[in-house]
Amino acid sequence: MGSQQIREARSQGLPQVNIAGGLDYYPALPTQILPGELAGMPGEDIPVRFGKDYSANGNVKLTQLLFNQSYFVGLKAAKTSQDLYRLRKEMAQEDLIYNIGAAYYQTLQTKEQFQNIEANLKRLAELERIMTLQYKNDLVPKVS
């Protein structure tokens, strides 16, 4: 995204060509009634239409930026923005790597905790079996 902003800022200093054109069609031209005295026909009114049925125009404009301090400042700002976007991308990648590592470490910790719990359950089951045998052989009294 940053490179596109730099290209956009740089393009402002390139020659600019603007071309415009138009074509207009007037199907009903306005009609004016003039007195016949103007055309040598006294006492008669003459209808006269003014204008053309079609009107076309064209325009070509070429401009070139010679010097504009804000243009150069804008280019520097665009370059700085590109550096900022690059740093943000690197930071996001590093954060992703860190988060994946942290999640993997937590998974390993949880697995180790499950193994410890299973070992404790086995020890408790063995201890219960031993205590039950000792009670049956009257080596220990029953505690409530």
Task: Give the pLDDT confidence of 69-93 residue by residue, as tens digits.
Answer: 888 888 888 888 888 888 999 999 9
| Residue entry with tokens 């988060």 | 99
Q: How far apart are CA 33 and CA 39, in angstroms?
A: 12
> Which regions of the chain are under pLDDT 50?
none
DSSP assigned state of 139? S
pLDDT at 106: 97
Residue corresponding to tokens 């415009």: 20
Query: Cα separation of 95 and 101, whole Å?
Result: 10
The answer to whether 53 and 26 have CB atoms below 8 angstroms apart is yes
